[in-house]
Structure 1
Amino acid sequence: MTAWLPDETTLHHGDGPRHHAGDGGGDVFALLREQAGNQTAQVTASGAAWLAGAAAYPRSTLAQWESRPSAPGVLPCGSAFDVVNVPTLFGRRMLEHLWSDGPGSGPVAAHRGRMLLFASPGTAQRLPSLLDWEEWGGSPRDGSGRAPLGAEGGGPKVPPLLCHGAGDAVTVPPLTCDPSSSGPRWLVAPDTRNPWLPGPDVLLWACVRVARSVPASAPRISIFPPADQGAKVYDVSRRR
C-alpha cells in the first residue's frame, strides 16, 4: 500500500498537476493534487489523510477511495471529529456569523437538505446541554430551517440539532465531487492533516447569534375586513 502518508505537506491553492494522464492514475493523492488548484471545495491529499484517520483501518479506507474516489464514504465520529447536523438555512446563517464575526469553521458538508458541521470531539455531548442550560433549545417537533418561537417565553429558539458523537457514523461526500450531482458534497473541504474544529462554545455562540437575528414573525393577516369604528353593533343572539 503506497497511498498512506505519501504527502506530509499541506497543498496550497494554485499547485499545478503532479502526474500525467498516462501514469496509471492509481494514487488518490495525485488525483487530489491535480484538482486542488481548481476547486476551493475540494478535498486535498492532506485532508483525505485526516478523514481516513477517523476510520478503524485508515489504509483500507484510503484503498477504497483510490478505487472509487467519486463514491461517498461512511466514517465514525467521536475520535477525530464530531458532527453537528443542522437544517440548511440555519446552517448557512451559522457559517455567515462564524466567518464574518467569529473564528471561522472547520470542514462543512451538505447532504439531503441538511448541513454537517465538523466539530471537535465531545461537542455532540456538550452542545445540546449548553443549549438547554441557556434555554435556547428548540421544540423537538419543529423540523423547519427557521428558529421556532418558544412555547413558554415566546422568544426565538434554535431548531433541533442532530449531534453525532462517539458510537455514531456519518456519510461523508466523495473526495472528488461532481458540482452537478445532487448527492453529498463539500462546502468547506478538509485541506490539512490537522484542521481547526470548532468546539461546543463556538457553535453555541453561532446558534445564539442566528436565533437572535431572526426577525419577528409576520403579523397575522385576517381574511375579514377591519371593523368600522363608528358602526352600530346589534345583539343578534337573542330571538323574539
Structure 2
Amino acid sequence: MRVALVTGGSGGIGSAVAERLAADGMAVAVHYAGRKAAADEVVGRIEDAGGKAIAVGGDVADEAAMAAAFDAVEEAFGGVDVVVNTAGIMLLSPLVDLNLDDLDRMHRTNIRGTFVVSQQAARRIRGGGAIINFSTSVTRLAFPTYAAYAASKGAVEAMTLVLAREMRGRDVTVNAVAPGPTATPLFLEGKDQATIDRLAAQSPLERLGTPEDVAETVAFLAGPARWVNGQVIYTNGGMA
C-alpha cells in the first residue's frame, strides 16, 4: 500500500486531498498544526469509508517536529511514498501597508515550512514517489493585496523546480499545484457576495474551484502522472 503525508490536512483543500488519496487506496497521514480535532475528523471519515489514516501534528517550519511526524508515518505504515504540502497561510494587504510581521509569518510557514517538509521528503521518500508542493495562480493573476503571499509562493515554485532536478536517479517526481480562487472558508472569509461573484465569473467555466477540483490534480500527480515532473500545474478553470 502506498503511503501519503498531507501537511495542512485538517484544512479545506488539505482535507479534500487526504480523503481523495485515501479513496485511491493510499494510507494517509493527516497533518495538523493547531487543529487536532479537525484532523481527527478527517481521519474518522477516511476510516469510516474503509481507508487507513492517522493524524500527526507539528509546526511545518520546525525541523525536529517534522522529523518526528515523518517518523510517526514510517512507524505506522512502513514508509512514505507521497508528500503533499498544502499547509500555508495567506495574509492580505497592499504592499505599501503590509505589516512586516505578517510577511515574516508567511515566510516562516509558506517558504521555510515547505522547505523543511521537502527536505524531510527528499531524504525519506521511496522510489516511485511524488512530492507535491502548493503555489497559487496569483503568481500570474497579480491581484492587488496579494504581493507578499504571491512572493512566498513564487519561492515555493523555485524550490520545487530545483528539487525535481536534484532528485535525479531516485524515480521521484516533484511538482507544484497552483490553485485559482477556490471555495474554502479561508478564501471566502471577509469577501462579500459581489466580490465572490466577480471572481467566479473570471473563469471560462464561470464558477469558483472546489477543494475536490484541486484534489483531482493532486491525485493525478500522486498516482498515474509519472512523466509529469518539475512542473507548476495551474488548477484554476482557465483563469490564467
Tell me the TM-score normalised to structure 2 length: 0.27
Higher relative contact order (Cα pairs below 8 Å, separated by 6+ residues) = 1
More helix by proportion, 1 or 2?
2
The structure with the largest alpha-carbon Rg is 1
TM-score, with structure 1 as normaliser: 0.27
